[in-house]
Amino acid sequence: MDISENEFNEITSYVQSKYGINLKKKKNLIVGRLENYLVRNGYKSYSEYMKKIKSNPTGEESTQLVNLLTTNHTFFLRENVHFDYMKNIVLPKIYTAEQNKKSIYLWSAASSTGEEPYTIVMTLHDYFNSKPGKWDTRILATDISTQVLDYARKGIYLEEQLKPLPNSWKKAYFDDYAPEKKRVKKSVRDDVVFRTQNLMQPFNFKNKFHIVFLRNVMIYFEENTKLELINKIYDCMLPGGYLFIGMSEVLDKKIKNFRYIQSSIYQKI
């Protein structure tokens, strides 16, 4: 199925305005991911498909568009320096500061298939289980793709995917599930609340966060989109809270009120 310049522009403008994702230089990606789907579902053209989507922007077809066009690559212990920093620097501070409440508010803001939030919870369990008192280690994990969230909730991974994890974690935090498959233990799964959240939409969280992971999602966002998002994130963090972004990402100097700590780690002033 051919895609005209107009159709390509219509799709990229729609995706950018609704989801922040700039795919203007990604024609191959768009065609590669949509063409089969359109043919299988009886669409005659990309414009017919877009008409259907625009007629119901919160409908099933729109959900499917997001599922098809987002890039969800992730893995356990990705950019391990963040988990080390969290364990060695951030958690000890929170442990001292929150002795009364014994709660930690943490958000994995583009959680994809779950490897990131589960790595975070394993880090929390490792740290807090050796401490006296019962801490609330539940975290929020959100993504725009319903498909990755469904996958993440199940917590089932190939043994191959567990390779980056230390053996002690594989033993402590996974159960056998099927040949060559493991499942994240219920005690870890129960500590992750998965929800849909489009980062372009307003946030409505009950509590402010000590820590936000916003990693490898801004890659396709333009500077002004990033700036708006970071300001919104700032508003839902506690003073002194930590923000982790992807190691290949940088924040503009205009970002207000965040102290640069080291590459990809910032602290709300």
Ligand X SMILES: C[S@@+](CC[C@H](N)C(=O)[O-])C[C@H]1O[C@@H](n2cnc3c(N)ncnc32)[C@H](O)[C@@H]1O
The contact set with ligand X (CB under 6 A) reads 19-21, 70-74, 78, 110, 112, 116, 143-145, 148, 198-200, 215-217, 246
**CB of residue 69 vs ligand X: minimum separation in angstroms?**
9
**CB of residue 45 vs ligand X: minimum separation in angstroms?**
26
CB 235 within 8 A of CB 228: no
**CB of residue 131 vs ligand X: minimum separation in angstroms?**
27
**CB of residue 222 vs ligand X: minimum separation in angstroms?**
12
Selection from 74, 114, 92 nearest residue 246 by Cα = 74
Distance CA 143, CA 113 (A): 9
Secondary structure, 3-state, 91-132: HHHHHHHCCCCCECCEEECCCCCCHHHHHHHHHHHHHHCCCC
CB neighbour class for 226 (10 Å; exposed up to 12, middle 13-18, buried from 19) = buried
Of 215 and 226, CB closest to ligand X: 215
Please give the torsion angle defined by the CA atoms of residues 167, 169, 170 and 171, in that order, rounded to the nearest 10 degrees. 90
Stretch (H or E) spanning 81:
helix 81-85
**CB of residue 196 vs ligand X: minimum separation in angstroms?**
8
Of 38 and 199, CB closest to ligand X: 199
Of 135 and 194, CB closest to ligand X: 194
**CB of residue 12 vs ligand X: minimum separation in angstroms?**
14
CA 146 to chain centre: 12
CB 19 within 8 A of CB 57: no
**CB of residue 220 vs ligand X: minimum separation in angstroms?**
7
For 136, which DSSP code? B
Distance CA 215, CA 199 (A): 12
Of 31 and 200, CB closest to ligand X: 200
